[in-house]
Amino acid sequence: WILFLRILDAQEARDAEQAEVLGADFSPALRSPYRWQDWAAPWSDKPGHPKTSDGKIQGWKRQELFAAGDGRLFDFINKELLPHLHALDVDPRTNLPNPAASPKQRIIGRIMTAVERVRVDDEANLRDILDRVHEISIDHIDDQHFFTLSQVYEDLLLKMGEKNSDGGQFFTPREVIRAMVHTVNPGLGQTVYDPCCGTGGFLAVAYEHMARKLGNAAASTDIEQLKHDTFFGREKENLVFPIALANLVLHGIDQPNLWHGNSLTRRATYDALFRHAPAQFDVILTNPPFGGKEGRDAQKNFAFETSSTQVLFVQDILSELAPGGTCAIVLDEGLLFRTNESAFVETKRKLTDECNLWAIVSLPGGVFSTAGAGVKTNLMFFTKGKKTERIWYYDLSWVKVGKKTPLTLAHFGFGKDGEVLVDDALPAILTADWQAEEANAGKPFPSYARELSNRSDSRYSWSVDFAARRAKAREEMQPLLDKAADIKAAVVDLKERLKQLKKDKAGETEMEALEADIREKEKSVRDSEAEAAAIDAAVFDLKAVNPNAVAVVDARTPGEIIDSITAQGRIVADALARLNQLMAAPEAQGKPESSSTFPDQCKPRPGFPFRENDEQHHSFQGTSARRTP
């Protein structure tokens, strides 16, 4: 919260300067002495020390409290500052929302409600913390992140993920988000929504994108609309909700309309900021939790009941996406290919019946490894209003990524502002094999960004005629369904005959034979219908399988392979001989025998198993670790 107040103050100072240049009005969210520049900034009586916006020396309140004696800074924070900030959200006299607070003030109050008191052991340490935090500037932002607060919190989430904890559910790599936003390209006038917004990544990147499109000469009414009436989200976790608010406020969204509660059970913890949200949204950007399980309270709200969190979220999105609206969503591989559970099939059927599923991007397996989630994922893009006729796929699954080599925006072929990168600006790992082939000489690399506009086919992209697939399935199913219908009709006749036999008190043998015939035919009906259902379900296996992938085949003969192994063996033998010469040199110069075999860096460590006849092996390993030529 200290970091939040620091950056909020710096941001408001910058906004005030911009408003002055434009001749516009500006009302700060916090007034003196509750601003960082009053009570937290370092004080100095030296000439040139910065001043507050109302002309006082920065840190004047802090100096006043320091002069009053030890403990007064704590008293001010606990008894004046925090109660004032809390009251921006809820008036303590009425316990109702503060009617005098602006939307931004209410959000600041909500962010600060979790802070009951300062938790630093003494004022000297607190002043040291304030001094260090004051050094942070909102200009210290790189292109890969939002701002300092987001970086700090997301680092914690990444650490949680690395320990196989639950950090991965809150964190979507920012470069993946940017690629999704560039693809959907939201604009002013559209509402943007994330039903499980985590730390607010999708909303913040969308704001960044839309503000850049508006440019510096945007009308004040357009800026007002963008900052107040555009971004909506829901978040369940108590820890994450205030962080999302803080992230979005500091990012520039004065009114993030966030709902705190469980989206799937419809139970709200705090909904005051979401009361004016529309029933449906123009753009939905989201990443539902991987592998989540929901109970009956959530399942009963949906037509196709399942414990799968992602499947329920897809159903939820279909109801909240406005006609003509577009959704970009991260989904795990299982949802795409699973056809053995009715809810999975029916949810995908509803999606492709009500929406045009126009693109699926297969991501590499390590994209979410930094957040502790090793699942294989895909991006899906669909627009509500037309049935799916054709699905365009793009394959990035072959790109090798991991914690130290993450997927970047350039792997998608986008520049930071959404421009299509030329080949020289693409990662070498992406283009090396392509450019090495003589047949591709002079041809541009078919990156995702380059192929997206026409959704054309290439080595890494292809289209599936989904309408034809469904038609073919219906054609294959029809004989089975006709057969089942004929048998059902025959069973009806047989049951009428059995009924008559029982009425006529016919012989047991005749009735038993008839009952066996009925059972056999009913089984045949079930088998035919199951076979038809399997054909139908297979239509909704949407997994990306690249038919254009170039298989790397080792065409060498066994003899050539043996020759290659022999040649590699000679290289290793030469390297070992050279290493032995290097290690034998000190002995030739009269070094004591106990040190003759191993350089100091290569001596066996205490407790490390070593056998006399392993000398060469351990010498090689030790020297190799030091990268000796």
In degrees and rounded to multiples of 5, residue 120 shows phi and psi of -115, 140
- Residue 425 · residue 417 · CB < 8 Å: no
DSSP character at residue 594: G
What is the predicted pLDDT for the residue at 615? 40
CA distances (Å), 490 to each of 487, 493, 494, 524, 525, in order? Answer: 5, 5, 6, 12, 11
Q: SS3 for 331?
A: strand
Nearest-angstrom CA–CA distance, 529 and 515:
21
Write out the two tokens for 553: 């085949």
Classify strands 231-235 and 257-262 as parallel, antiparallel or unpaired: parallel
- The count of other CB atoms within 10 Å of the CB of residue 501 is 15
Nearest-angstrom CA–CA distance, 453 and 262:
37
- The count of other CB atoms within 10 Å of the CB of residue 523 is 11
Cis ω for the linkage preceding 33 (within 30 of 0): yes
DSSP character at residue 549: P
User: Domain-by-domain residue ranges, the chain?
Assistant: 36-134, 172-203+226-409, 467-538, 558-625
CA distances (Å), 589 to each of 16, 74, 485, 583, in order? Answer: 75, 70, 97, 11
* Number of Cα atoms under 13 Å in the Cβ half of residue 28: 22
Residue with tokens 């909020």: 8
Contacts of 288 (CB under 8 A, 6+ apart): 195, 196, 309, 310, 313, 314, 329, 330, 331
- Classify burial at 355, counting beta carbons within 10 Å of its beta carbon; exposed 0-12, middle 13-18, buried 19 or more: buried
Write out the two tokens for 138: 């909102």
For residue range 80-101, list pLDDT tens digits in order.
999 999 999 988 899 888 889 8
Contacts of 293 (CB under 8 A, 6+ apart): 307, 308, 309
Write out the two tokens for 468: 């034809």
Amino acid at 474: R
**CATH architecture entry for 172-203+226-409:** 3-Layer(aba) Sandwich (3.40)
Residues of the chain with pLDDT under 50: 141-148, 161, 163-168, 371-372, 593-629
- Residue 293 · residue 307 · CB < 8 Å: yes
Q: SS3 for 75?
A: helix
Nearest-angstrom CA–CA distance, 74 and 68:
12
Write out the two tokens for 154: 């997301």
- Per the DSSP assignment, residues forming a β-bridge with 194 are 233
Computed from CA positions of residues 431, 433, 434, 435, in that sequence, does the dihedral angle turn out positive or negative? Answer: positive
In degrees and rounded to multiples of 5, residue 420 shows phi and psi of -80, 125
Angle of CA points 192, 196, 202, to nearest 5°: 45
Query: Which residue, among 133, 134, 98, 132, has the nearest Cα to 113 in the 3D structure?
Result: 98
Nearest-angstrom CA–CA distance, 384 and 322:
7
What is the predicted pLDDT for the residue at 381? 98
**Which helix (H) or strand (E) element contains residue 465?**
strand 461-465
Nearest-angstrom CA–CA distance, 167 and 198:
10
Nearest-angstrom CA–CA distance, 525 and 481:
9
Nearest-angstrom CA–CA distance, 486 and 431:
58
SS3 helix, strand, coil % of the chain, rounded to 5? 50, 10, 40
CA distances (Å), 406 to each of 133, 160, 269, 365, 627, in order? Answer: 29, 18, 36, 11, 26
- Classify burial at 158, counting beta carbons within 10 Å of its beta carbon; exposed 0-12, middle 13-18, buried 19 or more: middle
Q: How many Å is the Cα radius of gyration of the chain? A: 33
Amino acid at 412: F
What is the predicted pLDDT for the residue at 150? 53
Write out the two tokens for 505: 């008190």
Residue with tokens 């110069």: 589
Write out the two tokens for 202: 């999708």
In degrees and rounded to multiples of 5, residue 155 shows phi and psi of -60, -40
What is the predicted pLDDT for the residue at 595? 44
Nearest-angstrom CA–CA distance, 24 and 92:
33
- Residue 341 · residue 347 · CB < 8 Å: no
